Amino acid sequence: MESIKVFAPATVANVACGFDIFGFAVDNPGDEIILRKKVTPGLEIVKIEGDQGRLSLDPEKNTACISMLAYLKHLNANQGISIELRKKMPLGSGLGSSAASSVAGVFALNELMGRPMEQIDLLPFAMEGERFASGTPHADNVAPSLLGGFIAIRSYEPKLDVVKIDTPAELFATIVHPQIEVNTRDARNILRKETSLKNTITQMGNVAGLVAGLMKGDYGLISRSLVDVIIEPVRSILIPGFDEVKHAAIEAGALGCSISGAGPSMFALSKDRDTAKKVGEAMQRAFASVQIESEIYVSSINQNGPVVIG
């Protein structure tokens, strides 16, 4: 194989109560990457589309390449690669834009090299891209983008431990991306460093309830558990119209609604596609009421992760 084209999906991280431990993949949006072998060693980015010129062509300053460089170093390989990256989602959207690029890059490279490593073993390399992008090598975006499905990060130390959680087949996600931007580092820096015992207990109960609700297909339990008493009250102030949008989602039939990742995108979960579409329209109208344009994405929980498309 001399070239390959790969799609890697966007993700919703945190999922209300699961700050830094929950994430799930969606069918759209996502990123595409094209890799071609070249004779001379080293990585070369020949083109980036869809970024409005904001991303660096320097391989040591690009998340996709950071992951690929870590992978090549691990294999002690000096294969030369030319790269085209197509951003199919907005940057700084809270949809795991940097994660999708990292996953697309390292997954495509592993395929191009003859698949010397298992897919799960690519996760640490994808996390290095996240370290560069946000300062923290967290896995709540890259793990679901790489593995597909709804993922729980049980631990990072002493060993990375990720768990895939079964979800009802008819569960649908609505994502609404308002035309504003929230910087991931800023959204993390405003968080309180400590929380009360009362809020911790409440959050732990919601985490346990959400896992049980997803595995049992208990929509009432899912709905009651999609509550964040620690992160959402702080980060929501960065999103104009947040309360109105969340209220509109619930009124339209959503099981719950919260911030996707660091924001500004918001997500909702619903029992079926039709409800998810209605929820998206209601959320978009609520953003419009505060003079903010937005985009809607409706998707089931993507179980595939990255796929070869050419």
pLDDT on residue 160: 93
Q: Is 181 a catalytic residue?
A: no
Mean pLDDT of the chain: 95
CA 177, CA 199: separation in Å to the nearest integer? 28
pLDDT on residue 195: 93
Q: Which of 130, 167, 174, 275 is catalytic?
A: 130
Task: Please list, in sequence order, all residues whose beta carbon lies within 8 angstroms of the beta carbon of residue 227, skipping any fewer than 6 positions away.
Answer: 16, 17, 202, 206, 256
Q: Is the pLDDT of residue 188 over 80?
A: no
> What would the pLDDT profile of 219-235 be if each residue is shown by its tens digit?
999 999 999 999 999 99
> What would the pLDDT profile of 251-304 be if each residue is shown by its tens digit?
999 999 999 999 999 999 999 999 999 999 999 999 999 999 999 999 999 999
Q: Is the pLDDT of residue 241 over 80?
A: yes
pLDDT on residue 135: 77
pLDDT on residue 91: 87
Whole-prediction pTM: 0.95
pLDDT on residue 217: 97
pLDDT on residue 182: 77
Q: Which of 167, 174, 184, 275 is catalytic?
A: 184
pLDDT on residue 133: 82
- Name the band, by pLDDT with cuts 50, 70 and 90, for residue 189: confident
How distant, in Å, are the alpha carbons of 11, 84, 131, 160, 260 from that of 187?
17, 30, 16, 24, 12
Q: Which residue has better confidence, 187 or 154?
A: 154
> What would the pLDDT profile of 42-72 be if each residue is shown by its tens digit?
999 999 999 888 899 999 999 999 999 999 9
CA 13, CA 142: separation in Å to the nearest integer? 9
Q: Is 130 a catalytic residue?
A: yes
